[in-house]
Structure 1
Amino acid sequence: MSTHAPARTTTTDRPIPQEAFDWYDEYAHGLIDRRTFMNRLMTLTAAGFALSTLTAALMPNYAEAEQVSFNDPDILASYVTYPSPQGYGEARGYLVVPTGLADTGPVVLVVHENRGLNPYIEDVARRLAKSGFVALAPDALYPVGGYPGNDDEGRALQSSLDAAKMEADFIAGARFLKQHERSSGKLGAVGFCYGGYVVNMLAAAIPDELNAGVPFYGTPAAAAIRDQVKSPLLLQFAALDDRVNATWPDYESTLKKNRVPYTAHIYANTNHGFHNDSTGRYDEEAAELAWERTLAFFNRHLG
């Protein structure tokens, strides 16, 4: 596992204390409620931090995050539905195709965090299309009306859904994309947080269909199916993400035992979510390096 050391992201003249990022991670993953999270942030006001500064640094601001416009002439974006008989019956995703694609090309499934298809994930799909890939970003919240427009409600909705049916919807999305008329038949997947877990799950659940996977700070698939992973993996970790990183040694042992080709990178002094450029967890240097590696990996394995 390699180590890269970018500068720590700050939003003021003083760095946000690490415990604030840790508390946000607990809140974002349902380990504490919003009241507890806000009460903990209040304790930092005695150290001179304004609550508004802390929340601005930690909460997403999607208007700041767009890197590729939806009306960029190099891409064509639309929403599509497709069957998911083992899931919720019908699923929906954001499909982005490079306008310069003459016939078919490699395809990449983009899997969101634990809050539905928010603007950051849609932008990641557009970035992939801008780089020549056909991208599909499913919305697990489609059965309950889709991403509601804010992450708090999105998290609540996603936690209310059946986990097995959600996973089946993502498998359906992967198969729909692999068989799409614009697909070359080579399928990749990239996901973040919960989406990183889904990429690991896809690698285990459909090992003969996934050609390359890039989980960002994702936990491994269930132990019962973990031995089935075959496809090459590029695993991206944040050094300060103790919760996810604790799962890596056992997963790495399984990959080594089964001779699965993988490369893992840990980005020093970064937090869970460092690729997400809508929050203060974003680390530009680490995010750009991780994304360069992601594109190179897909180009190598998907053609």
Structure 2
Amino acid sequence: MQNLKKEDINQEVFDLYNDYAHNRLSRRDFMQKLSYYAVGGLTVASLMSFLNPDYKGTIQVQPDDPRIETTYINYPSPKGGGTIRALLCMPSGNQKKLGGIVVIHENRGLNPYIEDVARRAALAGFVSLAPDALSPLGGYPGNDDDGRALQSERDRNEMLEDFIAGFKYLQKNEFCTGKVGVVGFCFGGWISNMMATQIADLTAAVPFYGAQAPVEDVPNIKAPLQLHFAEHDTNVNGGWPAYEQALKNNNKEYTVYHYPGTNHGFHNDTTPRYDKEAGELAWKRTVDFFTQQLK
């Protein structure tokens, strides 16, 4: 099927993909249900190909972009996975201390999209660190299906410790001011919410369509939050009203944005769930927020 467009796909297909991407559907069940929508010239194979990420044609900041410097580092995570590999990025030729951003991946490891986000953060004037929670299992395996399978083998609370250790590493980096924020997507959104409850000196947190921290932990939050939600994201959105009420009850500083017509993953420009207008607006808001909070 040639020239398949997002407008050609039923919302139910995106909902199915969301369940599959979050391990709520097996691959077999996903493909079986997908076959119901393989009509009018569409095939299951063409739908699968369309829904899967495209990492070749969507990179916004190339790894060799002369405007930034990147390197892979390893840091200790004694309460988590032991040793974690991460991508460290900063503006090219930088000789001064900058605000730091920990970039947290989805439920599939440090894939090319998240590495690209880390480079975008550096291009915006920050020093960024993008850890790979799959490091103890060999790292991101090169495709998202295997990445999801690997990540499901790890305990999510141990992975949280890996990212907390990454925060501490970045905070002490010679090019960091010590002011560090976190931005995370999907699973990384949950990690971002959790880090806000666990780290007293976290400067700012930006969860993208992430599950909320337990409401009983909200009193521990010190950092201001900026939260982004997709309209068609029932599982994540269901927990928001109680979380917001807890934030209000505890006088926490937060800003929330809801993006009409969008799906979970709308910032990820490698899949058809991407919404260019919403994704770019959300990223601009994120950069502006970090610029204000990390100065």
Task: Answer yes or no: same fold by TM over 0.5.
Answer: yes
After superposition, residues 30-41 of structure 1 pair within 5 angstroms as 30-41=23-34
Partner Cα distance (2:250, 2:216) in 1: 14
Partner Cα distance (2:270, 2:45) in 1: 16
Partner Cα distance (1:210, 1:22) in 2: 34
**CA offset at residue 13 of structure 1?**
8.0
What CA RMSD, in Å, does the superposition of the two structures yield over aligned residues?
1.4
- 2:16 equivalent among 20, 23, 46: 23
- 1:257 equivalent among 249, 256, 262: 249
**CA offset at residue 11 of structure 1?**
4.3
Give per-residue Cα distances to partners, 1:160-196, cap 9 Å, x unaligned.
0122211111100011111111101111110000000
- 1:240 equivalent among 204, 224, 232: 232
TM-score (norm 2): 0.96
Q: 1:213 to 1:13 in 2, by over 3 A?
A: closer
Give the aligned partner of residue 216 of structure 1: 208
Partner Cα distance (1:26, 1:237) in 2: 17
- 2:46 equivalent among 46, 53, 66: 53
**CA offset at residue 39 of structure 1?**
1.0
- Is this contact kept in 2: 1:267–1:286, CA < 8 A? yes
Partner Cα distance (2:213, 2:170) in 1: 21
- Is this contact kept in 1: 2:266–2:278, CA < 8 A? yes
Give the aligned partner of residue 293 of structure 1: 285
Does 2:204 align with 1:204?
Answer: no
Question: What secondary structure sits across from 2:152 in the alignment?
Answer: helix
Question: What secondary structure sits across from 2:180 in the alignment?
Answer: strand
Partner Cα distance (1:97, 1:71) in 2: 13
Q: 1:90 to 1:13 in 2, by over 3 A?
A: closer
Give the aligned partner of residue 176 of structure 1: 169
Give structure 1 stretches of 5+ with no counterpart.
1-9
**CA offset at residue 223 of structure 1?**
3.9
Question: What secondary structure sits across from 1:266 in the alignment?
Answer: strand
Does 2:99 align with 1:142?
Answer: no
- Is this contact kept in 2: 1:91–1:143, CA < 8 A? yes
Give per-residue Cα distances to partners, 1:44-102, cap 9 Å, x unaligned.
12344233432233111111220001111111111111111111221111101111422
- 1:91 equivalent among 81, 84, 92: 84
- The runs of at least 4 consecutive aligned structure 1 residues that moved more than 6 Å come to none
1:34 counterpart letter in structure 2: R
Partner Cα distance (2:82, 2:214) in 1: 24
Partner Cα distance (2:20, 2:6) in 1: 25
Greater relative contact order (Cα 8 A, min sep 6): structure 1 or 2? 1
Q: 1:151 to 1:13 in 2, by over 3 A?
A: closer
Partner Cα distance (2:197, 2:288) in 1: 23
**CA offset at residue 226 of structure 1?**
2.9
Q: How many residues align?
A: 293
Q: Single out whichever of 83-92 and 264-273 deviates more from structure 2.
A: 83-92
Give the aligned partner of residue 281 of structure 1: 273
Q: 1:75 to 1:14 in 2, by over 3 A?
A: closer
Give the aligned partner of residue 194 of structure 1: 187
Give per-residue Cα distances to partners, 1:102-147, cap 9 Å, x unaligned.
2110000000000000000000000000111100000000000000
- Is this contact kept in 2: 1:220–1:226, CA < 8 A? no
After superposition, residues 78-117 of structure 1 pair within 5 angstroms as 78-117=71-110
Partner Cα distance (1:153, 1:260) in 2: 38
1:63 counterpart letter in structure 2: K
Question: What secondary structure sits across from 1:83 in the alignment?
Answer: strand
- 2:126 equivalent among 126, 133, 138: 133
2:18 counterpart letter in structure 1: D
Give structure 2 stretches of 5+ with no counterpart.
none
Give the aligned partner of residue 4 of structure 1: none
Q: Single out whichever of 82-91 and 145-154 deviates more from structure 2.
A: 82-91
Partner Cα distance (1:289, 1:92) in 2: 30
Partner Cα distance (2:156, 2:279) in 1: 29
Partner Cα distance (1:57, 1:229) in 2: 40
Question: What secondary structure sits across from 1:66 in the alignment?
Answer: coil
Question: What secondary structure sits across from 1:46 in the alignment?
Answer: coil
**CA offset at residue 256 of structure 1?**
0.6
